[in-house]
Structure 1
Amino acid sequence: MDPEAALLAGTAGATLVSLLTTEAWQRARDGICLLWRRAQPERAEAVAAELDTTRSDLLAAEVAGDPDTRDELAAEWQGRIRRLLVTRPEATDALRRLIDDLDPTASVVSTVTQRATASGEARIYQAGRDQNVTRR
């Protein structure tokens, strides 16, 4: 699987679950159901039911003060979405547009490719984002 698509699945799972307890939950549910309806119509109704169950579980976990459930549910949806993208890679663009529409701050960052060659006692420090180096 394309690494960017795998990253997109992770972003989508986290974004979806985070929106299920907000006012945008119905829009998120409708968007994911539409994605499935186009890619795997035979699974669309089951996905809708799974989303409703996920929302109920998440609301109950918040009332109970269980912070781990959100991450677990996001991981479950990441897996579902990843599997969808593996079987239907053409759904990648539609998913990216949906996530951008639902939460523009969740946009997937471009892939970073880094190469370095060191010799002797050289040191190389690379990072795709923030990096703090403390020399001792």
Structure 2
Amino acid sequence: MDPELVALASSAANTVVGLLATDGWEQVRRGVAALWRRVRPEQADIVEAELVEARAELLRAREAGEDQAEQDLTAEWRARLRRLLAADPALERDLRELLAELRPAEAEGGEIRRVDMRGTASDNARLYMSGGDMHITGQ
């Protein structure tokens, strides 16, 4: 598969899962279901129901402080989106349009509305996290 499509699927999965726990999740549900209807219409209702289930799972996990669920959901949706793009590479344009709709912060000049990060470091490890540009100098 074209590396650009792989990167697109990855970016889309991060956006989709990240937005499932926000007020924008209905837009995610409708948009993702619409993509499936174009390529695999017989699976669209199932995918839509699975997004609702994924949202519930993500909300429970966040409430319990479980980080792994979000990573697992992201990996699952990355694989699904990759398969969808592999089935119809022309869907790339539609997926990019959906991402533009789902990322209002980018459309409004790059203002970030919410960044949710979690990290754990132990022993002598260093942990660097950023919601934007990061420049690290020195040791």
What residue number does 1:37 align with? 37
Q: For residue 73 of structure 2, what is the aligned residue in structure 1?
A: 73
For 2:93, the equivalent position in structure 1 comes to 93
With over 3 angstroms needed to count, the CA separation of the structure-2 counterparts of 1:104 and 1:5, relative to structure 1, is farther
Match of 2:23, SS state, is coil
Can you give the 5+ residue segments of structure 1 that lack an aligned partner in the other structure? 108-129
Q: For residues 136 and 25 of structure 2, what CA distance do their matches in structure 1 show?
A: 38
Unaligned runs of 5+ in 2: 108-133
One-letter amino acid matched to 1:21? A
Q: Runs of at least 4 residues of structure 1 off by over 4 A?
A: 104-107, 130-134
Alignment partners' CA distance in 2, 1:106 and 1:15: 12
Residue 51 of structure 2 aligns with an amino acid whose one-letter code is L
Aligned residues: CA RMSD: 2.0
Distance apart, 1:105 and its partner CA = 5.6
Which is further off, 56-65 or 97-106?
A: 97-106
Structure with higher Rg: it is: 1
What fraction of aligned residue pairs are identical, expressed as a percent? 42
Cα deviation digits, residues 29-62 of structure 1 (max 9, x gap): 1000011111110110110111011001001101
Measured in 1, the distance between the counterparts of 2:91 and 2:79 equals 15
Distance 2:8 2:106 in 1: 10
The TM-score, its normalising length taken from structure 2, stands at 0.74
User: CA–CA distance in 2 between the matches of 1:57 and 1:106?
Assistant: 27
Contact 1:99–1:106, Cα closer than 8 Å, also in 2: no
Paired residue total: 113
1:11 to 1:105, Cα distance in 2 relative to 1, 3 A: farther
How far has the Cα of 1:8 moved from its partner?
0.3
